[in-house]
Chains A and B, each alone.
Chain A
Amino acid sequence: METLPFFEWLDTSLLASIAKSNGGVFAVVQMFHLLGMAMLGGMVLLGDLRLLGILMRDIPSATVIDNTHRWFGYGLALTLISGIFMASAVAMKLYYNEAFWAKMTGLGIGILFVYCVRRPLLSFEHSSINPWAMRCLAGTSMVLWFTVAASGRWIGFS
């Protein structure tokens, strides 16, 4: 699939002209992106560390998962919306940036993982799930989202 035309279109879109001509607006949006990342990452960490039995052991894991999942969604929405705006400002740079594609791949897998694997699996009674499956689930989730955040930060360096 050839995605270059999309990036060329994004680069000349109205969103891009707003983002490019207002350095201050870009910076503000970037801050929301960071705050969204903290929220998303915090929810992933708390949920997964509970599944691993490291944090909040005295609170039922289903309670922790339910509460963190909702706020994970808010964090994801915040980073996605702010991320699209930021991407429009540097669309052509991103198209040729390896870290960006690593991040997008990780993000796609991460979203599928959360909504097609982790959430459906954890809607079962947790005690009925094989403990090792739980641990693998938690480990995979943390590694995935760490990769997304780390490659995201690396876009700025490369």
Chain B
Amino acid sequence: MNELLLALARWLDSHSLSTQLHESFYMYNWVESTHVLTLMLFLGMLIIIDLRMLGWIFPTVPASHIAERLDKPMLIGMAIMFITGFALYYAIPERTTQSIWFRIKVVLLIAASINAILFRARMRDSSASWDTDLKPPNNIRFAAAASLTLWAGVVITGRTIAYDWFDCHKELPAFMYWAAGCVDQLAASRGVE
């Protein structure tokens, strides 16, 4: 698996467009800034929906109203984040593939998405009974808290990709080499033993 991901990353890295994007000061920084600033749209709308589900904002507006009205702007934000996020990965594929933070981020992203899909289904089925309640039922509030926590985790691990604390070139325990996908370093550390 790690070998396969690394091979894919090295293949992307061999593209001249990847190198150009990485080496272009303005282009790379614009893409990266768009990615970060779109947090205000995507995460901003998401926070508002989740805060309503917790009963902390818009108490007089039905929860389903908030969720429906903010769905589209949130998804637009998500699309922009995906496109710019992929471009950022494409610009620096090898290091990102071998980043423990990026890997945790992808796992959290998947967990947050599953939570969101379940949350939507649950809301659709049951919102009629609590739509106008100031405080939605406990299972909805729990899902909202989980959503906020998971997405905060996605942002946090996204930010830490920039730090080199656990990069492959550092002296790390074998477990970390494995978890981060440092194929060569892992093989070397095994060779020494």
Answer whether residue A10 sits at the interface, using C-beta atoms and an 8 A cutoff. no
Stretch at the interface among A29-37, A104-112, A125-133: A29-37
By secondary structure, the B interface counts as helix
Q: Are B40 and A37 in contact (CB under 8 A)?
A: yes
Counted as pairs of residues, one from A and one from B, with CB atoms less than 8 Å apart, the total is: 92
**Contact of A42 with B33 in the complex, beta carbons under 8 Å:** no
CB distance from B95 to the nearest CB of A (A): 18
Q: Out of B37, B51, B60, B155, which one reaches A35, CB within 8 Å?
A: B155
Check if B37 sits within 8 Å of A150, measured CB to CB: yes
Residues in B with CB closer than 8 Å to A58 are: 65, 69
Question: Does A153 sit at the interface, judged by CB under 8 A?
Answer: yes
Bound complex: CA A23 to CA B166 (Å): 13
Total contacting residues, chain B, CB less than 8 A: 31
Q: B36 touching A34 by the CB < 8 A rule?
A: yes
Task: State the CA gap A27–B101 with chains docked (Å).
Answer: 13
List the B residue with the shortest CB-CB distance to A46: B48
Pairwise interchain contact A63-B36, C-beta atoms closer than 8 A: no
Interface check B183, CB cutoff 8 A: no
Nearest CB in chain B: distance from A147 CB, A:
11
Q: Determine whether the beta carbon of A37 is less than 8 Å from that of B159.
A: no
- Output the least CB separation between B31 and chain A (Å): 12
Given A58-B65, A59-B61, A63-B58, A45–B36 Cβ distance below 8 Å? Answer: no
Q: Please tell me if the beta carbons of A63 and B60 are within 8 angstroms of each other in the complex.
A: yes
Q: Tell me the bound Cα distance from A27 to B41 in angstroms.
A: 23
> In this assembly, does A51 line the interface, its C-beta being within 8 Å of a C-beta of chain B?
no
Contact of A71 among B45, B46, B51, B155 (CB under 8 A): B51
Give the most central of B44, B61, B70, B165: most A CB within 10 Å. B44
A42 and B37 form a contact (CB under 8 A): no
Task: Report how far A71 CA is from B159 CA in the complex, Å.
Answer: 23
Residues in B with CB closer than 8 Å to A41 are 37, 39-41, 44
Partner of A27, one of B48, B73, B160: B160
In the complex, what distance in Å separates the CA atom of A46 from the CA atom of B40? 10
Write out the residue numbers on chain A whose beta carbons fall within 8 Å of the beta carbon of B174.
none
Assess the B40–A149 pair: CB atoms within 8 A.
Answer: yes
**Which A residues are in CB contact (< 8 Å) with B43?**
35, 38-39, 42
B73 with A55: CB separation less than 8 A: yes
**When each residue 157-186 of chain B gets 1 if its CB lies under 8 Å from chain A and 0 otherwise, what string results?**
001100101000000000000000000000
- Is A113 on the interface with B (CB-CB < 8 A)? no
Cβ contact within 8 Å between B159 and A42: no
Beta-carbon nearest neighbor of A42 in chain B = B44
- 11 A-B pairs with CB atoms under 8 Å apart are A35-B152, A37-B40, A38-B43, A38-B155, A43-B48, A49-B73, A55-B73, A56-B65, A71-B57, A154-B29, A154-B33
A interface, CB within 8 angstroms of B: 23, 27, 30-31, 34-35, 37-46, 49, 55-56, 58-59, 63, 67-68, 70-71, 146, 149-150, 153-154, 157
Given A30-B159, A38-B40, output 20 extra A-B contacts at Cβ < 8 Å: A27-B163, A31-B152, A35-B155, A37-B40, A39-B47, A41-B41, A42-B40, A42-B41, A42-B46, A42-B48, A43-B44, A46-B44, A56-B69, A56-B70, A59-B61, A63-B58, A63-B60, A71-B48, A71-B51, A157-B25
